[in-house]
A = this chain, B = another copy of it.
Amino acid sequence: MKLRAPFLALLAGVLMTTTATADATPRARDLGIPFMGMPGPLNAITDVGGVTVGQVTLKQDLAGGKAVRTGVTAVLPRGARTKDIPVFGASFALNGNGEMTGTQWIDESGFIEGPILLTNTHSVGVVRDAAIKWRVMQGGADSSGYWWSLPVVAETWDGELNDINGFHVKPEHVFEAIRAAKGGPVAEGGVGGGTGMICHEFKGGIGTASRVVKVRDKSYTVGVLVQANYGVRETLTIAGIPVGQELTDDMIYHKPGGPNGDTGSIIILVATDAPLLPHQLKRMAKRAGMGLARVGSYAGNGSGDIFAAFSTANANAGQDGAPMTVTMLANDDMDPLFLGTVEATEEAIVNALIAGRDMQGNMGSYVKGIPQAKLLAILKKHGRLLPAKK
């Protein structure tokens, strides 16, 4: 991937970076970590046609040891058309120690309307209302006078690295994340909503992957994007190997002054172009948890493991008017999509870990990126490493 200069700005006193594209860092499978199934060309949620992603990263060191390490990630299911055309969607909470606003309406209506926004736990509100403001600013929505919005905003907690109670996310950051959304490669690791996130006690954050599957001679794509902030070290499993048992340095939990157990969460978004109805998308959302399980999660009590799935097919489904004609796959044909969801979720999480870099944060906190050489050595020892790609 090409490296493109990020857009920098000072907004509300905080240094904002708009991450235009992913950087050139090798991703998990580039290093030889084995995964099953066939990824799409970008191995990203943006392989699902029309899906765009925009990310705003907020990083600044403040007086008194405080540090801003947070941001916003916007996923637009239909790119620029997202503001007017909903997608069929569904949500599922594997462990609801978290927030995803808008889920009552998703599950009632079968639609996700507008962008999906990821941020930190204590900024869900500002991001939610900003999504409404943004829509009003686009015009049209309010023309009848009878219009309301129930935005979808999800979170994980970055209070270890980020001055979370400083409430540094502002409406402008949301506007910028939406504006910046585009297709193509997606930046991973400590960017956007994932800026200050921690996963299995290593630096985590945003990760993505995709699978192309065949159903009766047609190809469909499943794309996954995660904001990974969950997990304890001891259960970390990569390529089936319990590597967390050997990677025991630099742990965060169970240390003096550290938290007693998992304080994390993971948000998983599943996109597909397969024509699935809302109740079928709920089935897809559930499978995200099975991919999560493969990386060693047991959905700890403190973890908000909340998932949403959507389909970009059936663009006409959300319009008002006469009965609409929509397309659906047979339930009997869903297995490849289920398996693709499991596989892409697993890889997206590992991608988030591989993209993680050492980060110093709020009040002297420090989290290490996963030590890649050591990780690869363990996998090699177990015959679970492929040749690296150039």
Contacts and interface: CB of A to CB of B under 8 A. Distances in A.
Interface in A76-100: 93-100
A96 B104 CA distance: 5
A240 interface: yes
A326 B325 contact: yes
Nearest to A314: B328
Interface string A113-145: 000000001111111111011001000001011
Contact of A319 (B148, B290, B330, B342): B330
B322 A325 contact: no
Interface in A316-333: 317, 319-333
A300 to B, nearest CB: 5
Nearest to A278: B279
Contacts of A260: 332
B298 A339 contact: yes
Interface string A262-283: 1100000000000101111001
A302 interface: yes
A104 B100 contact: yes
Given A159-B147, A159-B148, A323 B327 contact: yes
How many identical subunits does the complex contain?
4
A89 to B, nearest CB: 11
A304 interface: yes
A17 interface: no
Interface residues of A, number: 110
Interface in A220-245: 235, 237, 239-242
A104 B108 contact: no
Interface stretch (A179-187, A350-358, A378-386): A378-386
Contacts of A261: 332, 335
Contacts of A328: 317, 323-324, 326
Contact of A290 (B97, B129, B289): B289
A152 to B, nearest CB: 10
Contacts of A384: 241, 382
A59 B323 CA distance: 42
B329 A283 contact: no
B122 A149 contact: yes
A7 interface: no
Contact of A298 (B110, B321, B342): B342
A349 B381 CA distance: 27
A283 to B, nearest CB: 7
Contact of A335 (B240, B242, B279, B300): B300
A160 B164 CA distance: 36
A165 B150 contact: no
Nearest to A259: B146
A293 B289 contact: yes
B146 A159 contact: yes
Contacts of A27: none
B146 A332 contact: no
B124 A126 contact: no
Contacts of A128: 124-125, 128
28 contacts: A95-B283, A96-B105, A97-B109, A98-B105, A99-B102, A101-B124, A122-B129, A124-B129, A125-B130, A126-B126, A142-B165, A146-B159, A146-B160, A148-B157, A216-B322, A260-B332, A277-B277, A278-B278, A286-B299, A289-B290, A290-B293, A301-B335, A302-B332, A302-B335, A323-B330, A325-B327, A326-B326, A382-B384
Given A110-B277, A146-B259, A300-B335, 5 more contacts: A103-B103, A105-B304, A126-B126, A146-B160, A148-B157
